[in-house]
Amino acid sequence: MSPHFETGVCACHPRGEGSMSILVLIGRILFVAVFLYSCVGHLRKTEAMALYARTRRVPAPKLATYIGGVVLLLGGVSVLFGAWADVGALLLAAFLLPTAVLMHGFWFERDGGRAIELTQFLKDIALCGAALMVAALISYAGHGLGLTLTGPFFHMR
């Protein structure tokens, strides 16, 4: 096999052709849609989002909002295009876990907001788990998935 394929810089690996590659591509597109949509709000409405983050006692809320938007953008684009998608998925997981705890602390709510925050908390935790699974899948089978710009950064074999 050519070293070109071993580095994972080829957009189409011979083992990655076919319906499985298409399914993984569709899954990547659907998975990152929420993150790319959310990053627009973080980066275009930073002030408003920072005000909300301040009510949740997030340290340096404006900076945290901006950094969150950049992490969402980098992670989402990485997974979408399959450019070190394992790293991108880990970036998304690293965003989601603290966001769930800091922004959706349902345990602090005393009124009707508890159910909403619980739902948002569970959504972020579920997406964090999915991001970790995407990172593992890409790291394990990345070169064989095809339809990616690069192979995985990490290799779990």
Its pTM stands at 0.85
CA gap 39, 46 in Å, rounded:
10
Give the confidence band of 9 by pLDDT, cuts at 50, 70, 90. very low
Give the confidence band of 17 by pLDDT, cuts at 50, 70, 90. low
For residue 3, pLDDT over 60 is answered with no
* Tokens of residue 137, six digits: 């899948």
Count of C-beta atoms within a 10 Å radius of residue 45? 14
Q: Is 107 exposed, middle or buried (0-12, 13-18, 19+ CB in 10 A)?
A: exposed
Alpha helices in the chain (DSSP H): 3-7, 19-44, 46-55, 61-81, 85-103, 113-145
pLDDT at 6: 42
Residue 23 CA, distance from chain mean position: 18
